[in-house]
Amino acid sequence: KQEVTQIPAALSVPEGENLVLNCSFTDSAIYNLQWFRQDPGKGLTSLLLIQSSQREQTSGRLNASLDKSSGRSTLYIAASQPGDSATYLCAVTGLWDKVIFGPGTSLSVIP
């Protein structure tokens, strides 16, 4: 059974700092890994999708890496801004395209 964990559960940083969010999964037989952002009371917004054959993906100030063999992914956010404050969730797609989520990391960027 696939289990996904995220560390830390919460993070508070001053504006402008670079930061790393971590995601771990127990079953390395995945098709892809996706990072999402969720604002309070809202649905999820897709940030980056990494296919199992890829090592990383970049979008603007975001960079996500994937090490399938060790069951880990990181989301790197450069030059953080107050608008980046949200919950960040990772999700892995496994056999038959079943998608399992981690519990999320709540990020607060202090002006």
Partner 1 sequence: DTGVSQNPRHKITKRGQNVTFRCDPISEHNRLYWYRQTLGQGPEFLTYFQNEAQLEKSRLLSDRFSAERPKGSFSTLEIQRTEQGDSAMYLCASSLSEVYSGELFFGSGTQLSVL
Minimum distance from residue 59 beta carbon to partner 1 (Å): 12
Q: How far apart are CA 33 and CA 90, in angstroms?
A: 7
Residue 61 vs 98, nearer CB to partner 1? 98
- Chain positions 28 to 87 lying near partner 1, rule: CB under 8 A, are 31-32, 34, 36, 41-46, 49, 51
d(CA 72, CA 108): 23
Q: Who contacts 11 (Cβ-Cβ below 8 Å, separation ≥6)?
A: 19, 21, 105, 106, 107, 108
Structure tokens at 17: 């700092």
Min CB(95)–partner 1 separation in Å: 10
Size of the site for partner 1 (CB under 8 A): 26
Q: Note the residues at the interface with partner 1 (CB under 8 A).
A: 4, 6, 31-32, 34, 36, 41-46, 49, 51, 89, 91, 93, 96-104
